[in-house]
Structure 1
Amino acid sequence: MAKIKLIEYFRVLPRWLFVKVTDEEGQYGWGESTLEGHSEAVEGTLQALSKRFQGYEADDIEHIWQTAWRLGFYRGGPVFMSAISGIDIALWDLKGRHLGVPIYQLLGGKVRDKVSVYGWIGGDRPSDVEAAGKARLAQGFKAVKMNATGDINWLDSPAILESSVQRFKAVKSIGLDAALDFHGRLHKPMAKQLAKALEAHHPLFIEEPLLSEHAEGIKHLSGLVTCPIALGERLYNRWDVKRFLEDGSVDVLQPDISHCGGISEIRRICSMAEAYDVAIAPHCPLGPIALAACMQVDISTPNFVIQEMGLGIHYNTEAGEYDITSYIKDPKVFEVKDGYVDALTGPGLGIEVDEEVVRRVSKNTEPWKPKEFYGVDGSIREW
């Protein structure tokens, strides 16, 4: 394998950050460093890493990962790890393309032939989520994720809890399995009540019932309910994950391949989780490169259970409408059939990025600003 010649990054609509690594022979691979709302910070880190890794052997993926991690002294966190992630994914794609095999073949081969998936639905009323759920059924999904709550305060009316339960029951009534995302919005008094109220209705899992920084609170909550507890999108490496595995507070781990160090690190996290009988359901409301990278890992990971994907979510911008198929030449690779997506069989990531579109769109793409979510009292809520 040749040496790295060039590392480029592209800010594209609606809010994604793609990375391309090219070697001296002209072969290339694509990665994704998307960190919503922090593109400029990640771009700065990518610029520094790009200069460092020019001339490195592109084949030495682990050496490059360890160099990025260990030789900078300060390490970890969402910005730094997202930058590493994009480069790491691109190097795996490059290696797979060079050898003519899917990445999962480089990770030990398949343990399954297709990937179970779920899609997102929104809606504030039971009728809204029911309609959104039916649309997902029509797309081939058998499972969805939805907001557990809208605006709930530290202690609020029990009627708020009942509203959440009714929305959840409306989705279940049409034959969908459903997970509920708390987004870490609730403080512990309300999170305990809502988790208990949902318990009898068997959610697929409850996600971030509390913010991950409240590890002791999550541990407490895990002893009160039988609902599977999921978290991990705001954990950025194996050391962040370790305490949740050791204290037995998480049932479903959701590392984000674009935030946690790419394919190299997510594989290590998956293996750690397997030793604790914890399932893997990667977080991925991102672009097509991140989704393809997740699927390569899913196909080769024994404790994988279900994959988040943004298929069918269209982002309308002033420059047009974009979704996860906007930047690839073969959108049918992500087709959902009876709740599954077939394994990607092409070399590397198994997708073909439309570089012409990427370069054209990136020329005029402004940084994406984080969404703002406020309660009725004007105070900030987690989104």
Structure 2
Amino acid sequence: MSGPYYGDRAEEPPDLIGKDPNTFEPRALRGGGWNIALLDLIGKMIGWPLCRIFGGKLQDKVLVDYWISRMSATDSARAAQRAIELGFHGIKMKCKWEDANMEDRVRAALEVAPHLRVVLDPNERFYNLKNALDLARRLDGLDVVFEDPFPKTDLHEYRRLKEETSVLVGGGGGGGGGGGGGGGGGG
């Protein structure tokens, strides 16, 4: 957590230091991650993993992509090689529609790591279906996921993107099996 935020407004978090975690109701600690931290602490006290507190493990593995920022095609290829060396199976590329080199970046990464899954994450900055379709058609046949390509104001447009192209389409976490964080290339 960064900064003094609690809930949906800036204020100091509750005074938790030195208090017995068994005396708090997690729902009373809304926002800021305090409720998750408290549940994790309680889980450690009773020997349960956090997933058990939430009802049990749903899968054995969570795929995590190697994240890279907006960069050149050459640097994207180097990053893809590094991702493979570190054992990743996917790479998440931050981008936006104005980046003229998106297709080159994807192709450069796949040239050095052909089995790598590529997630393009523009944070809705492909802006509209027309732009997303244009890029998707240029990347046709490649293992590419579009994560949040444009605002989700019309889900029918998301359906059209999926129906008219071969790209996988996802929202906020890698989409088609992608998985989220990697925190800037870490693991």
Aligned to 2:11: 47
Alpha-carbon contact 1:143-1:177 (below 8 Å) kept: yes
Alpha-carbon contact 1:184-1:209 (below 8 Å) kept: yes
Secondary structure in structure 2 of the residue aligned to 1:199: coil
Q: Write the deviation string for residues 308-352 of structure 1: whole angstroms up to 9, x where unpaired.
A: 222655xxxxxxxxxxxxxxxxxxxxxx5xxxxxxxxxxxxxxxx
- Is 1:151 aligned with 2:98? yes
- Is 1:185 aligned with 2:100? no
Task: Give the alignment partner of residue 102 of structure 2, picking from 139, 147, 164.
Answer: 164
Tell me the amino acid that sits aligned with residue 210 of structure 1: F
Aligned to 2:181: 308
- Is 1:105 aligned with 2:52? yes
Residue 60 of structure 1: CA displacement?
Answer: 3.5
Secondary structure in structure 2 of the residue aligned to 1:115: coil
Q: Number of residues paired by the alignment?
A: 181
Residue 148 of structure 1: CA displacement?
Answer: 4.3
Residue 144 of structure 1: CA displacement?
Answer: 0.8
Tell me the amino acid that sits aligned with residue 169 of structure 2: I
Going from structure 1 to structure 2, the CA distance change for 1:214 and 1:49 (only over 3 Å counts) comes to farther
Structure-2 separation of matches of 1:207 and 1:44 = 25
In structure 2, runs of 5+ residues without a counterpart are none
Alpha-carbon contact 1:207-1:229 (below 8 Å) kept: yes
Task: Indicate the percent of aligned positions where both proteins have the same amino acid.
Answer: 22
Structure-2 separation of matches of 1:311 and 1:140 = 15
Alpha-carbon contact 2:5-2:13 (below 8 Å) kept: no
Structure-1 separation of matches of 2:43 and 2:21 = 18
Aligned to 1:209: 149
Greater length-normalized contact order (CA 8 Å, ≥ 6 residues apart): 1
Alpha-carbon contact 2:172-2:180 (below 8 Å) kept: no
Structure-2 separation of matches of 1:105 and 1:214 = 36
Aligned to 1:27: none
Q: Write the deviation string for residues 100-155 of structure 1: whole angstroms up to 9, x where unpaired.
A: 22212323433444432211123533211101111222222221111344625xxx
Structure-2 separation of matches of 1:166 and 1:221 = 21
Residue 173 of structure 1: CA displacement?
Answer: 1.8
Residue 171 of structure 1: CA displacement?
Answer: 0.9
Secondary structure in structure 2 of the residue aligned to 1:209: coil
Aligned to 1:345: none
Tell me the amino acid that sits aligned with residue 225 of structure 1: T
Alpha-carbon contact 1:210-1:217 (below 8 Å) kept: no
TM-score w.r.t. the length of structure 1 is 0.40
Task: Give the alignment partner of residue 96 of structure 1, picking from 29, 40, 43.
Answer: 43
Tell me the amino acid that sits aligned with residue 170 of structure 1: A
Aligned-residue CA RMSD (Å): 3.5
Q: Write the deviation string for residues 248-288 of structure 1: whole angstroms up to 9, x where unpaired.
A: xxx93xxxxxxxxxxxxxxxxxxxxxxxxxx6x6xxxxxxx
Alpha-carbon contact 1:58-1:91 (below 8 Å) kept: no
Aligned to 1:358: none
- Is 1:64 aligned with 2:28? yes
> What does 1:222-301 align with in structure 2 at a 5 Å threshold?
222-232=162-172, 252=175
TM-score w.r.t. the length of structure 2 is 0.74
Aligned to 1:198: 139
Structure-1 separation of matches of 2:23 and 2:180 = 29
Task: Give the alignment partner of residue 130 of structure 1, picking from 46, 67, 77.
Answer: 77
Tell me the amino acid that sits aligned with residue 192 of structure 1: L
Structure-2 separation of matches of 1:211 and 1:221 = 13
- Is 1:218 aligned with 2:165? no
Task: Give the alignment partner of residue 65 of structure 2, picking from 118, 127, 140.
Answer: 118
